[in-house]
Structure 1
Amino acid sequence: MADLLPLAEAQARLLALAEPLPIERASLIDAAGRWLAADIAAHVDHPFADLSAMDGYAIRFAELPGPWRVTQEVAAGAMPTAPLAPGEAARIFTGAPLAEGADTILIQEEAARDGGTLRLSGEGPPANGAHVRRQGSNFRTGGVVLNAGDRLTPPRIGLAAMAGYAELPVRRRPRVALLSTGDELAPPGAELKPGQIHESNTPMLAALLGSEPANLILHSPICDNFEKLRAAIAAAAADADILVTTGGASVGDHDLVRPALEAAGAKLDFWKVAMKPGKPLMAGRLGDCTVLGLPGNPVSAYVTALLFLKPLIARLGGAADPLPRTVRLPLGQSVPANGPRLDFLRATIADGTVHPLQSQDSGALTALAQADALLLRPPHAPAADTGMFADVLILA
């Protein structure tokens, strides 16, 4: 377990520790941002009929260039009063259904009307069916519109509503407990005693998870006392689906998280990942809770939370693809050869190119606060010149 795991293997092993949570039904608003737990099929056709895509007149294309007699008017939300007889047209508005017999829309900008008589005043519709949204062209009754594991983005919520749903099957929101450790930690805003620093990991990680479908349980920092830490870990894990600790994950005399976890009954699956920053990272199980021990350095905590904690939440939520995706971008400047660990360089993006920042200290948040991307440098990667492409993780 002391060997350094490649990132992909460590992520796979973490996700294998947890199963998706039980299914519940949630309103469309409450389901937003979560993952669909089952395929859903449309309850209706959309459009429900052939509809006009423009304001104008419903006509028979074969009767161009007219003239026509306007015999009815159809607005959105209304239905035609009768089929169109030969030589007839219907005044129609966007979203209104076509009367039987009509097949094309003559837009109002190309129409001239004198009382009940309609004439062509422009070029007219270019083809039969012009400016008509055909029944079922969006989806048909019984057709699958969303798949299990899809993230319920705003457009997908709208699509579900359009397909006839007021509620959707989703997984229960995971309960995520955040627990920082260290004698040196003081609450944000508190007056510092000699040797103290303000605790930043909990508010930072809570902000990172603010858009995730999870219920956060925030704990006060725990000092470097073995028994207090063991008791706090046991209590937090009993009330959570995921317990996240930050700090105390390395091998120093005051790094007590690993032995405290084991004393509380946790079974660790791995410890240490071949990545930079973020090597001292632990994962395991404590009862029904998945435990994730993040490094205490703020940059390391943030990067590992992006790569492990957010995917774990997605896994419990039923995501089809829980891991973050990278993009390929050209380098805006050359970068030196890399060492034996996968390196995540804080970087900015300008004019479509990626630029690593000068400071890469894992304890300094200044560069991370300036960054909008992480530039991935594979183990033992050779130096790369400006213009060469690299994998980049975009920061939200």
Structure 2
Amino acid sequence: MIGDMVRPGAPERIAVQEAINRFTAEPVLAARDWPPFDMSAMDGYAIGEETLGEADQGMLWIGAPQYAGAPAQQLAPGEARPIATGAAVPANASAILVRERATIVRHHLQRPEALVAGANIRRQGEDARAGDKLLEPGRCISPALIGALCAYGVVSMQVCRRPRVAILALGDELKSVGNTLDTSIVDSNGPMISALLGNAGCDVTLLGSIRDEEFAIASAFEQLLRSQFEFIVTTGGASVGDRDLLRPAVERVGGDVQFHGVHMRPGKPVLFATHPDGATFFGLPGNPVAALVGARFFVMRAIRARLGLDAERPTRTFDEIPEAGPTRILKAMTREGSTDDCVEILPAQQSHMLRPLLSANAWVIRGGEEPSTLFPLFDTLNEH
């Protein structure tokens, strides 16, 4: 449902040097040939076709050096020209003799052993031709891709805009990090969700906590809507208690609740709502592991859709009889290997227990009458 209701955002054009970890919004084409000309692959000597063949005792006179960046001149008859790696190859040169294999006698090059035509020459366009499609939409830009695109003459590219996310904690009892007493409850969810979404490339604003009052929550929502945040993520206040005021506040500002409550543990009270202005609301539970699960699997599904990416696939599906009952999302640790024994379900699965996350690197999703699956602890969008 979430993937169907969140659409890709408008793209923006940015310089290719600034595109690290951004996602392409349209195909990227090469702007020029690479290599842009026939280029020497080695330091050595450019020789003509008449010198190819069996080695003999003839000598080639050594011409002026050909350096990178200088225009190539035709080889004269009987000439061997010193050439640097990356230098343009003379049009009538047939091969490059590697310098280490050259024999120089009295400022002349002894005719080399047999060379294959084209040896040690990088041909123009052998890696890419101008107009070649290099990347499809939805590709995450890595440092290596930035280097390649620059070589192919790409100066700028259309990428998906960073999703704008506001994070708000609901609860009179919450205190910010560093502003607590021994008996205070720290808002650990806000920094955790902010880090998760920031690591996914979102433009995140962490707003702290707000008191449990419907009008105050709705007023905060109205301000965020005016500020054109695309995603409004809250933690706490999502259940059905007397002080759980998220849903009425969402509906008060015109939000359309698509679902409220999921048959799963942890994270049952999660809320998903849309707004006519295009914003999306996610109400995550207050227990920290439940909040993390909601952000990891529900909010990140929306972020993927916003970036034009498909739903995440599990890294593994287990061969076992599906279990009935609610879907359970279990903290797990995987080890090297490929057998079932290499996946350990960690102890302390309660939604308030954070210590297992210090060693967890995966989630096992079990139950709901579906085969069990394995997902990494975090959705690594940049590996897409």
Considering the TM-score relative to the shorter chain, is it more than 0.5? yes
SS at match of 1:219: strand
1:54 has 2:42 as partner: yes
Matches within 5 A, 1:219-230: 219-230=207-218
> In the alignment, residue 113 of structure 1 is paired with which amino acid?
I
Task: Report matched runs for 1:226-375 at 5 Å.
Answer: 226-239=214-227, 240-286=229-275, 287-317=277-307, 319=308, 321-328=309-316, 338-352=323-337, 353-375=342-364
1:132 is displaced (CA, Å) by: 2.5
- Percent identity over the alignment? 36
2:69 paired with 1:69: no
Deviation at 1:302, TM superposition (A): 1.7
TM-score (norm 2): 0.85
* 8 A contact 1:54–1:94 mirrored in 2: yes
Hey, what's the Cα distance between the residues in 1 that align with 2:12 and 2:235? 31
Separation in 2, partners of 1:316, 1:324: 13
1:41 aligns with 2:29: yes
Distance 2:370 2:272 in 1: 28
| Amino acid across the alignment from 2:67 | A
Between the aligned partners of 2:363 and 2:129, the Cα distance in structure 1 is 42
AA in 1 matched with 2:151: M
Q: Aligned partners of 1:174 and 1:168: how far apart in 2?
A: 18
Match of residue 91 from structure 1? 82
Q: Which of these residues, 3, 14, 21, is aligned with residue 26 of structure 1?
A: 14
| TM-score, normalised by the number of residues in structure 1 | 0.83
- Please list the CA deviations of residues 340-359 of structure 1 after superposition, one character each: whole Å capped at 9, or x if unmatched: 33433222233234333223
CA distance in 1, matches of 2:355, 2:187: 15
Equivalent residue for 1:78?
70
| Pairing 1:184-195 to 2, within 5 Å after superposition | 184-192=173-181, 194=183
- Amino acid aligned to 1:288: G
Structure 1 gap ranges (5+): 1-12, 385-389
Residue 132 of structure 1 corresponds to which residue in structure 2? Answer: 121
- The offset of 1:306, in angstroms, is 2.1
State whether structure 2 residue 2 is matched by structure 1 residue 14.
Answer: yes
Question: Kindly tell me: are residues 91 and 197 of structure 1, through their superposed partners in 2, closer, same or farther at Cα, counting changes over 3 Å?
Answer: same
Q: Report which stretch shifted further, 206-215 or 336-345.
A: 336-345
Residues 241-277 of structure 1: CA distance to partner in whole angstroms, max 9, x if unpaired? 1111111222233222112211221101122334433
- Aligned equivalents of 1:341, 1:107: Cα separation in 2: 68
The 2-side partners of 1:348 and 1:312 are apart by 26
Aligned counterpart, 1:376: 365
| Worse-superposed segment, 91-100 or 52-61 | 52-61
Contact 2:52 2:114 in 1 (8 A): no
**CA distance in structure 2 between the partners assigned to 1:64 and 1:202 by the alignment:** 74
- Post-superposition, which runs of at least 4 consecutive aligned residues in structure 1 deviate over 6 A? none
Distance 1:267 1:329 in 2: 34
Query: How many residue pairs were aligned?
Result: 369
Q: Secondary structure of the residue that 1:179 maps to in structure 2?
A: strand
How far the C-alpha of 1:193 sits from its partner, in A, is 7.1
Where do 5+ consecutive residues of structure 2 fail to align? none
